[in-house]
C-alpha cells in the first residue's frame, strides 16, 4: 500500500535566496522603466555589466527552481501539489502573454521566464531519479546546445521555445528551454546535497531585512506579476503630476508600444533590404535588424529615432546598439 506523502515544510534559506533574486529583478526593471521614460540612459543591451547582471538574476531564479523541485520531492512526488503549482505558474505565464500583447503587440511575450518555469517544472521531474553526475552532464549539454545546434532549420515560430533559432525573436522576454534548462538541472543536483547540511536547511533568519526577503521569496509569483504594472504606473503618475505642476513641461504620454503600430515592421523591412544589398545573408539580416529594433525599444530610443530628434548622446547609444547587434549576427 502506498501512503501519500505530505508536502515538506518550506526551507527558509531557499525563500530568502529567491527573495534576493526578486529584489535584484525589481532594481533591474526600475532601470528599464527609467530608460523607457527617457529619465536615464542605461545601456542595457550593449554594456557587458548589464548583460551579465540580467543573466545572473535569471540564472539564480532558475537554479532555485531546480533546488526547490529537488527538495520538494525528496520524500516522493506529491502530485496534487505539483499539478497545482504548474497550473498556477502556467496561468501566470498566460497573463503575462496577454498583458504584453496589449502593451506591445509587436513584442508579445510568447515564451518568457514563467513559461520556462512551468515547462521546466514538468520536464525536471524526469531527472529526479537520474544519477547526479548524469544530471550535471545534461546541464552542461543544455548550456552548450545553442552554440552547437542553432541554425536556420529551427527558424520557425512554433520552435521558438527550444532556443535553437539563428536569431533572437522579437519579444520583451525570451527564456527558451535551451540553454536555460541547464541552470534548472544544476539546481536539481545542488538540491540533493542540501540535506547533508542541516545547518543550512534548518537555518531560520532573525534580522528584519532577511525576514522581508523570505516573505518576498514565498510570494515571488505575485510580486513578479504585479511589480512592473505598479512601477510603470507610479512613474507615469509621478511624471504626470510633475508635468502638471511645472509650467512648460510637456504632458507625459500614457505608456504604450515603444514604437507606433507598424513602425517596427516597416523599419525591419527597410533594414533587411539595405542589409542584404550589402551582401549579408537573409538570416543574418533578420537577426541583425530584430536586434537593433529591440535595442531601440529597450533603451527608450524609438520615438526620438523615428522623429529624427536624437541628441549627441543618443546618437552614440544608437551606434553602440548597431555595433553590438552586428557582432551578434549568426551566420548559418
- Residue 23: its pLDDT value, please? 96
User: pLDDT digit string (tens) for 223-239?
Assistant: 999 998 888 888 888 87
Q: Do 23 and 61 form a contact (C-beta atoms < 8 A)?
A: no
pLDDT, average across residues 143-171: 87
C-alpha cell at 284: 543574418
Contacts of 152 (CB under 8 A, 6+ apart): 166, 283, 332
d(CA 1, CA 113): 39
C-alpha cell at 105: 503587440
- Residue 246: its pLDDT value, please? 57
User: pLDDT digit string (tens) for 274-292?
Assistant: 888 777 777 778 778 878 8
- Residue 4: its pLDDT value, please? 43
- Residue 320: its pLDDT value, please? 79
The count of C-alpha atoms lying within 13 angstroms of the C-alpha of 139, restricted to the half-sphere facing its C-beta, is 22
- Residue 245: its pLDDT value, please? 58
d(CA 57, CA 28): 9
C-alpha cell at 218: 514565498
pLDDT, average across residues 83-106: 88
User: pLDDT digit string (tens) for 20-39?
Assistant: 999 999 999 998 888 777 77
The lowest-confidence range among 100-104, 112-116, 141-145 is: 100-104
Task: Judge whether residue 162 has pLDDT over 80.
Answer: yes
Domain boundaries, the chain: 12-231, 257-328
d(CA 27, CA 30): 5
The separation between CA 264 and the C-alpha centre of its own chain, rounded to angstroms, equals: 21
Bigger pLDDT: 304 vs 143: 143
Local confidence band at 301 (pLDDT 50, 70, 90 cut-offs): confident
C-alpha cell at 176: 527558451
pLDDT, average across residues 71-93: 89
Class of residue 118 by CB neighbours under 10 A (exposed 0-12, middle 13-18, buried 19+): buried
Nearest to 114 by CA among 12, 228, 10: 228
Q: Do 259 and 303 form a contact (C-beta atoms < 8 A)?
A: yes
pLDDT, average across residues 42-66: 89
Bigger pLDDT: 265 vs 77: 77
Nearest to 220 by CA among 108, 88, 97: 88
The lowest-confidence range among 41-45, 245-249, 322-326 is: 245-249
Local confidence band at 9 (pLDDT 50, 70, 90 cut-offs): low
Amino acid at each position: 500500500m502506498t501512503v501519500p506523502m505530505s508536502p515538506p515544510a518550506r526551507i527558509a534559506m531557499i525563500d530568502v535566496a529567491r527573495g534576493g533574486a526578486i529584489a535584484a529583478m525589481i532594481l533591474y526593471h526600475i532601470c528599464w522603466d527609467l530608460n523607457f521614460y527617457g529619465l536615464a540612459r542605461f545601456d542595457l543591451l550593449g554594456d557587458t555589466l548589464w548583460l551579465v547582471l540580467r543573466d545572473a538574476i535569471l540564472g539564480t531564479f532558475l537554479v532555485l527552481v531546480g533546488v526547490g523541485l529537488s527538495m520538494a520531492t525528496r520524500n516522493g512526488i506529491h502530485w496534487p501539489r505539483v499539478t497545482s503549482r504548474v497550473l498556477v505558474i502556467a496561468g501566470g505565464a498566460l497573463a503575462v502573454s496577454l498583458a504584453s500583447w496589449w502593451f506591445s503587440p509587436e513584442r508579445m511575450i510568447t515564451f518568457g521566464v514563467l513559461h520556462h518555469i512551468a515547462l521546466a517544472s514538468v520536464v525536471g521531474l524526469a531527472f529526479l531519479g537520474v544519477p547526479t553526475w548524469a544530471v550535471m552532464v545534461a546541464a552542461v549539454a543544455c548550456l552548450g546546445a545553442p552554440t552547437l545546434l542553432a541554425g536556420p532549420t529551427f527558424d520557425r515560430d512554433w520552435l521558438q521555445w527550444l532556443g535553437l533559432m539563428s536569431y533572437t525573436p522579437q519579444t520583451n522576454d525570451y527564456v527558451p528551454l535551451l540553454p536555460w534548462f541547464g541552470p534548472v538541472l544544476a539546481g536539481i543536483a545542488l538540491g540533493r546535497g542540501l540535506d547533508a547540511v542541516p545547518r543550512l536547511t534548518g537555518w531560520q533568519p532573525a534580522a528584519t531585512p532577511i525576514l522581508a526577503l523570505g516573505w518576498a521569496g514565498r510570494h515571488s509569483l505575485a510580486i513578479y506579476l504585479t511589480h512592473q504594472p505598479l512601477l510603470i504606473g507610479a512613474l507615469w503618475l509621478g511624471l504626470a503630476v510633475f508635468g502638471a505642476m511645472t509650467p512648460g513641461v510637456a504632458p507625459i504620454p500614457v505608456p504604450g508600444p515603444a514604437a507606433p503600430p507598424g513602425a517596427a515592421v516597416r523599419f525591419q523591412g527597410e533594414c533587411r533590404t539595405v542589409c542584404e544589398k550589402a551582401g549579408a545573408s537573409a538570416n543574418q539580416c533578420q537577426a541583425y535588424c530584430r536586434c537593433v529594433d529591440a535595442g531601440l525599444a529597450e533603451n527608450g530610443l524609438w520615438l526620438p529615432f523615428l522623429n529624427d530628434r536624437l541628441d549627441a548622446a543618443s546618437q552614440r547609444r544608437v551606434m553602440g546598439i548597431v555595433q553590438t547587434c552586428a557582432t551578434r549576427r549568426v551566420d548559418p
